[in-house]
């Protein structure tokens, strides 16, 4: 497809978001939803450790935008980066903090505009108007929802797009394979491990696995399509009995999970009376993993394993083990992709899907002791994050952490 025709398609997609005969992306104020009376801190948070290098400034008149500038500008031309958010998420807080760290370490002179478009076409069009107006050098698509929206309306655009904190683009049909670039302005990264690799780790952890309870938010399409359904099929092909536990109303996830997990344990006992060959596996569904305390309370001695490393955390409200790609690791890779694109060392459409390998492994030995679980030595040796028998972090990113004394 020629560049001229590609640009024409892009403009038609964007023009479809405009109202009436106002022309390309010129959307009148009445086309946008009223900006809610929210504070910046309700959706945009940066690790305080970044405060010495960056300052966050609100955008007057729109609390759903923020500008992040270097405290002391670095040498070289200023690169302006737009970060498109669909909503608040702790995962996005981790991701943007890591991006800021990488840009400092790489010495890039950059400025970020964070824009929460709330999954609204009108606000999305306003963000893309800024891109069309010029001055934006790169766009980060924060999360699977922003990635899907930009892929629909800005694929083959002029400005490079790098995805971050987004699930598998191959499973979602956004790119044909892992072995080639997009051929467009998109450079993809993935939060997902290949399912066959994920299942191989689970089988190493629990040889002879008989039962696998898959926990997913049924409304989270990306988690369903890239994690829950593929794992269901792969596990069933191995002769494992699968309990597919889908939350139907995220607002009532606590109540639904209490019932689903309790019933699944009963089913597991039929083939595994001692429950030593059964697992629960949590997908990257926020509505599910934020209820880890509820899941633990009803899982009994069945180990709860997560595809999201951050679900292993201090204390009791933690998965016992996670095998996956952390938000921090994915953001680090996405930031490196962005740096290479901005400095001319890489072309977005030629970059293969960025997948962190080997995966991040996190272990909470406090939870392991509570349910009488032995952790295989190979997992202990490979773990990036370890919490001790008091639930305290003692290893981070593979390095020892000074342990605070017990209270």
Q: Tens digits of per-residue pLDDT, 64-116?
A: 999 999 999 999 999 999 999 999 999 999 999 999 999 999 999 999 999 99
**What is the pLDDT averaged over residues 173-201?**
95
Give the pLDDT confidence score for residue 132 in this predicted structure.
87
Residue 115 within any structural domain of the chain: yes
Is 171 in the same domain as 224? no
Residue 277 within any structural domain of the chain: yes
For residue 233, give the 3-state DSSP assignment.
helix
Is 283 in the same domain as 314? yes
Nearest to 266 by CA among 303, 218, 300, 225: 300
Stretch (H or E) spanning 400:
strand 399-400
C-alpha angle 372/377/381, rounded to 5°? 125
Greater confidence (398 vs 31) lies with 398
Percent of the chain having pLDDT more than 90?
86
Give the pLDDT confidence score for residue 40 in this predicted structure.
85
Is 238 in the same domain as 250? yes
Is 171 in the same domain as 204? no
CA 47 from chain centre, in angstroms, equals 17
Is 19 in the same domain as 136? yes
Residue 356 within any structural domain of the chain: no
Structurally, how many domains does the chain consist of? 2
- pLDDT digit string (tens) for 117-165? 999 999 999 999 999 898 999 999 999 999 999 999 999 999 999 999 9
Is 134 in the same domain as 156? yes
CB 107 within 8 A of CB 136: no
| Helix-then-strand count for the chain, H and E | 13, 16
**How, if at all, do strands 79-85 and 138-142 pair?**
parallel
Give the pLDDT confidence score for residue 26 in this predicted structure.
35
Distance CA 78, CA 110 (A): 5
pLDDT at 3 over 80: no
- pLDDT digit string (tens) for 210-237? 999 999 999 999 999 999 999 999 999 9
The residue range of the domain holding 232 is 195-324
Confidence of residue 22 (pLDDT cuts 50, 70, 90): very low
Q: What is the pTM of this model?
A: 0.84
Contacts of 360 (CB under 8 A, 6+ apart): 309, 322, 323, 324, 325, 326, 329, 384, 385
Residue 68 within any structural domain of the chain: yes
Confidence of residue 404 (pLDDT cuts 50, 70, 90): low
C-alpha angle 259/233/331, rounded to 5°? 80
Residue 14 within any structural domain of the chain: yes
CATH number at residue 131: 3.40.50.2300
Is 55 in the same domain as 114? yes
Cα-based torsion angle of the residue sequence 201, 202, 205, 209 in order, rounded to the nearest 10 degrees:
-140
CB atoms within 10 A of CB 375: 18
Write phi, then psi, for 49 (nearest 5 degrees).
-65, -15
Average pLDDT over the chain, rounded to whole? 90
Stretch (H or E) spanning 3:
helix 3-15
- pLDDT digit string (tens) for 245-292? 999 999 999 999 999 999 999 999 999 999 999 999 999 999 999 999
Residue 377 within any structural domain of the chain: no
- pLDDT digit string (tens) for 61-77? 999 999 999 999 999 99
Distance CA 185, CA 175 (A): 12
Is 152 in the same domain as 219? no
Confidence of residue 38 (pLDDT cuts 50, 70, 90): low
Residue 274 within any structural domain of the chain: yes
Class of residue 37 by CB neighbours under 10 A (exposed 0-12, middle 13-18, buried 19+): exposed
pLDDT at 35 over 50: no
Is 37 in the same domain as 109? yes
- Name all contacts of 16-20 with Cβ < 8 Å and 24+ positions apart: 17/121, 17/122, 17/124, 17/125, 17/128, 17/153, 18/125
Give the pLDDT confidence score for residue 5 in this predicted structure.
40
Confidence of residue 407 (pLDDT cuts 50, 70, 90): low
Give the pLDDT confidence score for residue 402 in this predicted structure.
82
Is 320 in the same domain as 181? no
Is 98 in the same domain as 25? yes
Residue 305 within any structural domain of the chain: yes
Is 251 in the same domain as 320? yes
């Amino acid at each position: 497809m020629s560049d001229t025709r590609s640009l024409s398609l892009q403009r038609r997609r964007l023009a479809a978001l405009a109202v009436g005969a106002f022309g390309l992306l010129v959307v009148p104020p009445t086309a946008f939803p009223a900006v809610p009376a929210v504070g910046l801190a309700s959706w945009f948070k940066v690790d305080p450790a970044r405060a010495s290098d960056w300052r966050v400034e609100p955008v007057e008149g729109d609390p759903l935008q923020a500008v992040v500038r270097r405290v002391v500008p670095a040498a070289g031309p200023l690169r302006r980066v737009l970060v498109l958010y669909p909503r608040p998420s702790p995962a996005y807080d981790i991701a943007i903090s890591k991006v800021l760290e990488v840009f400092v370490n790489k010495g890039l002179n950059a400025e970020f505009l964070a824009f929460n478009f709330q999954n609204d076409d009108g606000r999305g069009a306003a963000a893309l108007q800024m891109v069309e107006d010029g001055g934006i050098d790169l766009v980060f698509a924060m999360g699977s929802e922003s990635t899907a929206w930009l892929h629909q309306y800005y694929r083959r655009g002029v400005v490079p797009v790098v995805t971050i904190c987004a699930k598998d683009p191959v499973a979602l049909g956004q790119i044909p394979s892992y072995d080639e670039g997009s051929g467009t302005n998109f450079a993809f990264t993935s939060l997902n491990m290949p399912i066959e690799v994920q299942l191989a780790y689970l089988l190493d952890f629990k040889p002879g696995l008989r039962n696998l309870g898959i926990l997913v938010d049924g409304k989270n399409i990306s988690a369903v399509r890239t994690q829950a359904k593929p794992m269901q099929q792969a596990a069933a092909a191995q002769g494992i009995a699968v309990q597919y536990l889908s939350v139907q109303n995220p607002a009532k996830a606590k109540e639904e999970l209490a019932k689903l997990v309790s019933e699944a344990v009963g089913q597991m006992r039929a083939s595994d009376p001692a429950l030593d060959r059964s697992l629960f596996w949590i997908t990257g569904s926020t509505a599910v993993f934020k209820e880890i305390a509820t899941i633990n309370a009803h899982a009994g001695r069945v180990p709860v394993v997560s595809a999201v490393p951050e679900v292993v955390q201090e204390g009791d409200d933690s998965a016992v083990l996670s095998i996956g790609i952390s938000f921090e690791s994915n953001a680090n890779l996405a930031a490196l992709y962005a740096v290479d694109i901005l400095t001319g060392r890489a072309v977005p459409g030629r970059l293969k899907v960025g997948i962190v390998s080997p995966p991040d492994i996190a272990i909470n030995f406090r939870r392991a002791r509570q349910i009488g679980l032995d952790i295989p030595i190979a997992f202990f040796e490979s773990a990036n994050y370890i919490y001790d028998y008091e639930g305290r972090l003692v290893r981070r990113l593979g390095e020892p952490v000074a342990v605070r004394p017990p209270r």
